[in-house]
């Protein structure tokens, strides 16, 4: 990263989330922070909150919530490999995500979903089976 990220610059929370590539646009990052989906040091905060190095931020990603520690600051959105240098995911967050993934896979085995809608014959068989 450039020397800009090592200096004592002030970066807003929504801008940092956008630069770290957690959200596609800064507006989406701002909305997530305002909705209370992002926690900064275990507290709800505003989009204009100044991010500090060493802070922990919890960000929703898909079905999971990722807990990251801020390593660097940046106001500019760069490539994904450079954006990953801005933060580090905590060990307990990685463990919890893996546990949730295995639970979802196990649930999918017990609750299979068909590939498509049933055709006319299959619908009749379902109705016949349900009305027994």
Domain-wise residue ranges, the chain: 3-130
Confirm or reject CATH 3.40.50.300 for domain 3-130, answering yes or no.
Answer: no
What integer is the mean pLDDT of 6-18? 86
User: Smallest Cα–Cα separation from 85: which of 24, 27, 29, 5?
Assistant: 5
Alpha carbons 128 and 122: distance in angstroms, whole number = 10
Alpha carbons 27 and 42: distance in angstroms, whole number = 22
Whether 25 has a pLDDT exceeding 80, the answer reads yes
Give residues with Cβ within 8 angstroms of 110, minimum separation 6. Answer: none
pLDDT tens sequence across 39-92 = 999 999 999 999 999 999 999 998 899 999 999 999 999 999 999 999 999 999
Q: pLDDT averaged over the chain?
A: 89
Whether 6 has a pLDDT exceeding 60, the answer reads no
Q: How confident is the model at residue 5 (pLDDT cuts 50, 70, 90)?
A: very low
Whether 116 has a pLDDT exceeding 80, the answer reads yes
């Amino acid at each position: 990263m450039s020397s800009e990220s090592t200096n004592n610059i002030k970066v807003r929370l929504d801008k940092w989330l956008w630069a770290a590539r957690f959200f596609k646009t800064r507006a989406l990052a701002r909305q997530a922070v305002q909705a209370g989906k992002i926690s900064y040091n275990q507290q709800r905060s505003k989009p204009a909150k100044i991010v500090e190095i060493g802070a922990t931020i919890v960000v929703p990603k898909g079905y999971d919530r990722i807990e990251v520690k801020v390593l660097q600051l940046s106001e500019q959105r760069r490539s994904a490999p450079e954006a990953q240098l801005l933060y580090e995911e905590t060990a307990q967050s990685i463990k919890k995500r893996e546990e949730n993934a295995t639970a979802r896979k196990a649930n999918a085995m017990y609750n299979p979903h068909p590939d498509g809608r049933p055709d006319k014959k299959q619908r009749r068989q379902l109705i016949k089976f349900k009305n027994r």
